[in-house]
């Protein structure tokens, strides 16, 4: 906890003011329904890459990675590696075709590809579930951060973040949020990098101390690395499951996918993805510095409160004004992380909800589309905000990991097969979505809410909890196999327009223009 709440209060006020000011400036450019949904598909790749970096680097990235490294060592680097490498898969297989589909949302793409309202409905439900799973830890993290930084009651954080996000999203939609998120990426990188450099210099000045064998909760650990599980087959399974979830889950995150619809064309979508890889790689070089320093200066946090390592480390290593300034900067970055990710998720969820409210005809008029989007944004923000206020005790990293597992088990098979396999049918897609969604969300949800894994561990030799907490390694292949198997069994259900639609996805825009 900071010695004085003033730096944290000043940081939060400045970030909030800057966010609202930039959002208001972007409001001048938001006039049509297309502006609210996809910024009229005119976002420059460099600006779009910064915005994706801003919304993708959530509380789990800004606070959680350093805490995971503190508790479990260098093997936790698989999380940031996976979150970054997921964009390689997006770049190679998804970005350009998805942009050429002309859809506004993932449910739009599913309906256009398969001609099924049932598949669209299932996708809409999944977008809302994944979005709320991801939004909940943002509001929880805001409550914890404001409590640690300024001593505010827990409920202040969710209300402040929810209010600022609603103001931005309902006023200007995607057009306004794009500028805000691009600014917030660079703020987060600066807020994490500058304190890390100063703290590393302090460590050098202290004579480069190392983690002591007898300090804190690590009496028997000498090395930096600690296995993800207990080593052996179980540790290998967890590692593979994390890789599958993070590598393949990125393409199914609704707030990431909707960003590709804002590019002018497929080539711009690929350029955006390439730039995102560079921006994320630069950011994820920094959290390991906090994790390593935490092993030396804050080993006690590993026993509880590891998510607060980034916020507390400046005052554990420094005194006086310097510690206050660094803490204020870190608080600003953390608050920006909550705002940017929450804004992107709210736009994605509101877009899906408003599409269902307005119906299939998006040309009913400017007023109907914009009003439906604003009402949907209130629902999109309100439900997870109220859940956070109710005191739901769910870990930030675990909830975000669950969102990735659900995305990897549902939208990943749908997008890959929908873009690259002409024999996919609506029945096969729906069956795969149900199997993947219920398998991943049900398994991990049972583990979070009950002690089922513990009760089964004795009978299963310690594997039960791992299989339930980390379902991606089996739920993703199961969902993919279900989609392929059911589709092959129902060949008459292949839509007649499949060939024409796939040509649209894979042909360069110049070919479309010449033909049209």
User: Does 314 score more than 90 pLDDT?
Assistant: yes
Which of helix, strand or coil describes residue 57? Answer: coil
Q: How many CB atoms lie within 10 A of CB 458?
A: 9
Is 319 a domain residue?
A: yes
Residue 77 domain-assigned (yes or no)? yes
CB 284 within 8 A of CB 62: no
Q: Which residues are within 8 A (CB) of 259 and not within 5 positions of it... i.e. 6 or more apart?
A: 48, 51, 52, 55, 272, 344
Distance between CA atoms of residues 217 and 295, nearest Å: 10
Residue 505 resides in a domain: no
Per the structure, the complete domain to which residue 281 belongs is given by 6-226+253-393
Is the predicted pLDDT of residue 407 greater than 80, yes or no? yes
* Average pLDDT of the residues in 270-278: 90
Q: Is the pLDDT score of 217 beyond 60? A: no
Q: Percent of the chain scored above 90 by pLDDT?
A: 32
**Of the candidate ranges 153-157, 204-208, 214-218, 384-388, the one whose mean pLDDT is the lowest:** 214-218
Query: Is 417 within a domain?
Result: no
Region 224-231 average pLDDT: 50
Residue 264: predicted pLDDT = 81
Residue 463 lies in a domain: no
In the predicted structure, residue 227 carries a pLDDT above the cut 60 = no
Q: Give one DSSP letter per residue of 333-367, joined into a string.
A: HHHHHHHHHHHHHHHHHHHHHHHHHH-S-TTS-HH
Alpha carbons 317 and 228: distance in angstroms, whole number: 28
Task: State the pLDDT at residue 456.
Answer: 60
pLDDT category of residue 136 using cuts at 50, 70 and 90: confident
Q: Identify which of 93, 122, 130, 60 has the alpha carbon closest to the alpha carbon of residue 403.
A: 130
pLDDT in tens, 323-333: 999 999 999 99
Give the residue among 401, 436, 351, 348 at the shortest CA–CA distance from 137. Answer: 401
pLDDT band for position 216 (cuts 50, 70, 90): very low
Q: Which residue has the higher pLDDT, 199 or 365?
A: 199
Considering the domain boundaries, does residue 97 fall inside one? yes
Whole-number Å distance between alpha carbons of 55 and 12: 18
Average pLDDT of span 208-223: 53
pLDDT band at 340 (very low <50, low <70, confident <90, very high): confident
Higher pLDDT residue, 133 or 222? 133
What average pLDDT does the structure give for the chain?
A: 82
Question: At 461, is the pLDDT very low, low, confident or very high (cuts 50, 70, 90)?
Answer: low
Res 473: pLDDT:
93
Measured distance CA(107)–CA(354) in Å, rounded: 12
- CATH classification of the domain holding 299: 1.20.1740
pLDDT at residue number 149: 74
Q: For the residues 301-322, what does the mean pLDDT come to? A: 87
Contacts of 296 (CB under 8 A, 6+ apart): 203, 209, 210, 211
Within a domain: 441: no
Overall number of domains in the chain: 1
The predicted-structure confidence for 157-180, as pLDDT tens digits, reads as follows 899 889 888 887 777 667 777 888
* Encoded tokens for 84: 């970054």
Mean pLDDT of 416-431: 96
Query: Taking 80 as the threshold, does the pLDDT of residue 459 lie above it?
Result: no
- pLDDT score of 481 more than 90: yes
Taking the CA atoms of 181, 182, 187 and 190 in sequence, report the sign of the dihedral they define.
Answer: positive
Q: How far apart are the first and last CA of the chain?
A: 63
Kindly state whether residue 176 falls inside one of the protein's structural domains: yes
| 251-265, 348-362, 496-510: least confidently modelled range | 348-362
pLDDT band at 69 (very low <50, low <70, confident <90, very high): confident
How far apart are the C-alpha atoms of 125 and 79, rounded to whole Å? 26
Q: Give tens-digit pLDDT for 438-453.
A: 999 888 677 666 555 5
């Amino acid at each position: 906890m900071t010695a004085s709440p003033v730096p944290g209060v000043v940081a939060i006020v400045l970030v909030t003011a800057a966010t609202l000011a930039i959002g208001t400036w972007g409001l001048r450019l938001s006039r049509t329904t297309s502006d609210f949904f996809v910024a009229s598909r005119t976002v420059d790749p460099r600006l779009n890459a910064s915005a994706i970096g801003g919304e993708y680097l959530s509380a789990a990235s800004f606070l959680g990675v350093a805490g995971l490294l503190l508790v479990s060592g260098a093997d936790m680097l698989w999380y940031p590696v996976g979150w970054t490498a997921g964009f390689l898969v997006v770049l190679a297989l998804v970005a350009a075709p998805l942009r050429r589909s002309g859809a506004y949302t993932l449910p739009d793409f599913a309906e256009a590809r398969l001609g099924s309202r049932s598949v669209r409905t299932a996708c809409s439900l999944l977008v809302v579930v994944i979005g709320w799973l991801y939004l909940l830890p943002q509001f929880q993290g805001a409550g914890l951060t404001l409590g640690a930084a300024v001593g505010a009651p827990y409920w202040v954080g969710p209300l402040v973040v929810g209010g600022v996000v609603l103001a931005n999203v309902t006023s200007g939609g995607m057009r306004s949020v794009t500028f805000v998120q691009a600014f917030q990426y660079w703020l987060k990188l600066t807020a994490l990098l500058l304190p890390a450099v100063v703290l590393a210099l302090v460590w050098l000045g202290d004579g480069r101390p190392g983690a002591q064998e007898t300090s804190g909760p690590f009496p028997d650990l000498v090395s930096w690395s600690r296995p993800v599980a207990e080593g052996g087959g179980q540790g290998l399974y967890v590692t593979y499951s994390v890789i599958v979830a993070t590598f393949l889950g990125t393409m199914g995150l609704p707030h990431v996918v909707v960003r590709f619809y804002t590019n002018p064309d497929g080539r711009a979508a690929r350029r955006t993805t390439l730039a995102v890889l560079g921006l994320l790689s630069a950011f994820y070089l920094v959290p390991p510095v906090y994790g390593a320093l935490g092993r030396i200066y804050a080993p006690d946090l590993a026993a509880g409160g590891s998510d607060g390592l980034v916020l507390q480390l400046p005052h554990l290593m420094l005194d006086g004004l310097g510690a206050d300034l660094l803490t204020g900067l870190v608080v600003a970055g953390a608050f920006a992380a909550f705002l940017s990710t929450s804004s992107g998720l709210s736009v994605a969820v509101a877009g899906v909800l408003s599409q269902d409210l307005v119906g299939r005809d998006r040309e009913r008029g400017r007023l109907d589309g914009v009003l439906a989007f604003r009402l949907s944004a209130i629902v999109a923000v309100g439900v997870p905000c109220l859940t956070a206020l109710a005191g739901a005790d769910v870990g930030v990293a675990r909830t975000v990991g669950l969102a990735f597992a659900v995305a990897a088990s549902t939208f990943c098979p749908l997008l890959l097969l929908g873009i690259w396999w002409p024999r996919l049918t609506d029945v096969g897609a729906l069956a795969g979505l149900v199997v993947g969604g219920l398998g991943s969300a049900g398994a991990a949800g049972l583990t979070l809410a009950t002690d089922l894994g513990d009760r089964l561990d004795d009978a299963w030799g310690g594997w039960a909890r791992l299989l339930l907490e980390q379902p991606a390694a089996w739920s993703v292949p199961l969902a993919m196999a279900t989609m392929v198997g059911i589709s092959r069994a129902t060949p008459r259900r292949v839509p007649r327009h499949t060939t024409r639609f796939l040509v649209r996805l894979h042909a360069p825009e110049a070919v479309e223009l010449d033909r049209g």
